[in-house]
A and B are shown apart, each in its own frame.
Chain A
Amino acid sequence: MAFTEPVLTKRIPLDPEKRKLITYDDYVATGGYAQLKKALEMAPADIVKTVTDSGLRGRGGAGFGAGQKWSFIPKEKKTTHYLTVNADESEPGTFKDRYVMNYDPHLLLEGIAICALATQCDIAYIFIRGEYHYSAKVLEFAIKEAYDHGIFGGNGVFGSGKKIECYVHRGAGAYICGEETGLLEALEGKRGWPRNKPPFPAIAGAFSKPTVINNVETLMNVPMILEKGPAWFKTMGTPSSPGPKLYGMSGHINKPGVYEDELGITLDYAINTLGGGMKGGAYKASICGGISMGVLGTNQLDIKLDFDDVRFRGGCLGLGTAGMIVMNEHTDMVKALRNCVRFYSHESCGQCTPCREGSHWMKKILDRVVAGDGKARDLEMLLELEKTMGIMPGTTICGLADGTAWATRTFVTKFYDEFAARCPEETTKRVALKLAGSSRTNVLTPMGSNTR
């Protein structure tokens, strides 16, 4: 618990009026690109080891070890290596990357350059979602500045001969391109259909070459890890989830926005201290990391926001992106779930049947329940459907369907009474009895192979 001042957002003033774009000169004047010079002196394996030692976990949702991911890239370079930066931030509730990119793009570029040195990448693509017009322009400007000052292109980083190219690649409005292999397909000019794995991107990714894919925030952590060391990094957060984290707070709170704190703060602290308390009514529920992770219930304010506690005690899929949507007591949970499921039915890429058909089916059911025409069998069917969709039951290529499943499962089971109240009484009782039995515990645990 040693988080005393912002580290990721140290250059961005707390007062919104004073915020402005941090240019190359501003960035260098506040110690920027010093760590890149340091990285040039280090062997690639040492950079990877430093990042691995820090325990930095990916900030894009899955929480996979960043250093570990880098270590999968072949050490002996035989061909071109690519770095793709995932700035396709489209998960509802998530807006942290936009915030930091808009103000401090050079921090990302320094992280990119260090990562490229560590994994011997030649070309870095920043894959940014099509709707982020402003952020894409900011990045284009910052990249041009970086080229002008010898970071990218030319004779290599600061004339060292280790040449890195860096480009912005704009997506075109598809959530699925945030999935790493969907992103690679979009980069190659194809429809964003996720690929079957293996081969993993570290072996055959973009253009069938070894590829590193990292989230924006993950890479922004890298310069400070080199500067202050893994031991310092671990003083923040929890043993399994070290470091600082950007929390995107939105919904029914007094001060929505992006806040930086360490990992492992409680939900209560996030809402009442960072978010300025509830607005319009008492606390009811919150989504902790984008809607795919599921919902935390009314009695779960003590959950610690790190990669493990949300999962094991909170009954959600994980911390995700820490994009939090807070809901007050007047929120209609049925309608909220309908909104989430509509999102998935709209964004499903259509490749795998359980996701394409299942999400549409669920949306139709929920439309019915919202309209007051729900039958008790509908809830049973929702819970049956969600068990059959996703990577975890092994029916889809990517995790989009798991998002649908976890959102549905956590909403329906944690707010069962509210859902049941929308359905005719006699039949509801039957389902409630059934759920109270053995099948209810099945609903709450991650699914194995017992999907049929």
Chain B
Amino acid sequence: MPWIAEDRRNTRATEGQPLLTDAMKALLRDKYFPRYPSKRAVLLPALHLIQHEYNWIPSEAIKEIADFLEIAPAEALDTASFYEEYWLKPKGKYLVQVCRSLTCELCQSEALTKKLSDTLKVEVGETTPDKRFTLVELECLGACGSAPVVMVNERLYENVDVDQLMKIIETLPEDPHEFKDPGVTWENHH
């Protein structure tokens, strides 16, 4: 909500370095500006870009994006705060997202959440003290045919049971940038 006062504890110290770098600006300008008749329409892609880079969206970044897109910071915050996928406070390196909608609930997703909560020693919505995991439940992931499903960062795991889930959690690489979806095999072709 735009009227919430800024929480300075969550503000990343920038030390004069802009979060929206020149390379990012160039990407937005060259790739995204020609796609839309208004600059404001680039807001969602820009927020995705920031979150992909920093894992969350600091309030300085929102101001920088607003300046770049020539809109008011409040307008950018208004949009950013509406969407659940944008994290306006820091989260863990790995976001473990358990689907809780009807099919997954019928297929015992609650057992997965409970096991994760017990193993990681966090409640739903919390981050582990080592900042490695954030556990959340979210609504339908659109893979009901293979329920229950869990999404870790950008990768979807289908038909998971408790044992498989523990294995997945244990074998995640140290650096989340090395964590890729093996299904995406064609990116090197072009």
- Whether A137 contacts B140 by the Cβ 8 Å rule is no
Minimum CB–CB distance for B70 against chain A, Å: 12
Asked if B151 is at the interface (CB within 8 A of a chain A CB), the reply is yes
With a cutoff of 8 Å between Cβ atoms, the chain B residues found around residue A18 in the complex are none
State which residues 103-117 of B face A: CB under 8 Å. Answer: 103, 105-107
Choose among B69, B83, B181 the residue that contacts A173 (Cβ–Cβ < 8 A): B83
Asked if B120 is at the interface (CB within 8 A of a chain A CB), the reply is no
- Whether A141 contacts B186 by the Cβ 8 Å rule is yes
- Whether A189 contacts B106 by the Cβ 8 Å rule is no
Flag the segment in B9-17, B39-47, B123-131 that touches A. B39-47
Asked if A315 is at the interface (CB within 8 A of a chain B CB), the reply is no
Q: With A172-B48, A188-B40 as known contacts, state yes or no: A95 contacts B143, CB within 8 Å.
A: yes
Q: With A92-B101, A170-B45, A248-B145 as known contacts, state yes or no: A130 contacts B106, CB within 8 Å.
A: no
Question: Interface SS of chain A: helix, strand, loop or mixed?
Answer: mixed
How many residues on the B side are at the interface (Cβ–Cβ under 8 A)? 48
Flag the segment in A44-52, A234-242, A336-344 that touches B. A336-344
With a cutoff of 8 Å between Cβ atoms, the chain B residues found around residue A175 in the complex are 139-140
Binary flags per residue of A89-117, CB closer than 8 Å to B gives 1, else 0? 11111110111000000000000000000
Instruction: Give Cα A257 to B85, complex, Å.
Output: 27
Asked if A308 is at the interface (CB within 8 A of a chain B CB), the reply is no
Asked if B173 is at the interface (CB within 8 A of a chain A CB), the reply is no
- Whether A191 contacts B78 by the Cβ 8 Å rule is yes
- Whether A336 contacts B139 by the Cβ 8 Å rule is no
- Whether A134 contacts B41 by the Cβ 8 Å rule is no
- Whether B140 contacts A90 by the Cβ 8 Å rule is yes
With a cutoff of 8 Å between Cβ atoms, the chain B residues found around residue A256 in the complex are 144-147
- Whether A251 contacts B106 by the Cβ 8 Å rule is yes
With a cutoff of 8 Å between Cβ atoms, the chain A residues found around residue B38 in the complex are 188-189, 207
- Whether A137 contacts B106 by the Cβ 8 Å rule is no
Known: A173-B85, A174-B83. 4 other contacts (CB 8 A): A132-B142, A134-B156, A251-B102, A347-B139
Query: Which residues of A are in contact with B by a Cβ distance under 8 Å?
Result: 21, 23, 80, 89-95, 97-99, 123, 129-134, 137, 141, 144, 165, 167, 169-175, 186-192, 207, 248-252, 256-258, 287, 291, 323, 325, 327, 331, 335-336, 339-340, 343, 346-347, 349
Query: Which residues of B are in contact with A by a Cβ distance under 8 Å?
Result: 35-38, 40-45, 47-48, 69, 71, 78-79, 82-86, 100-103, 105-107, 138-147, 151, 154-156, 181, 183-184, 186-187, 190
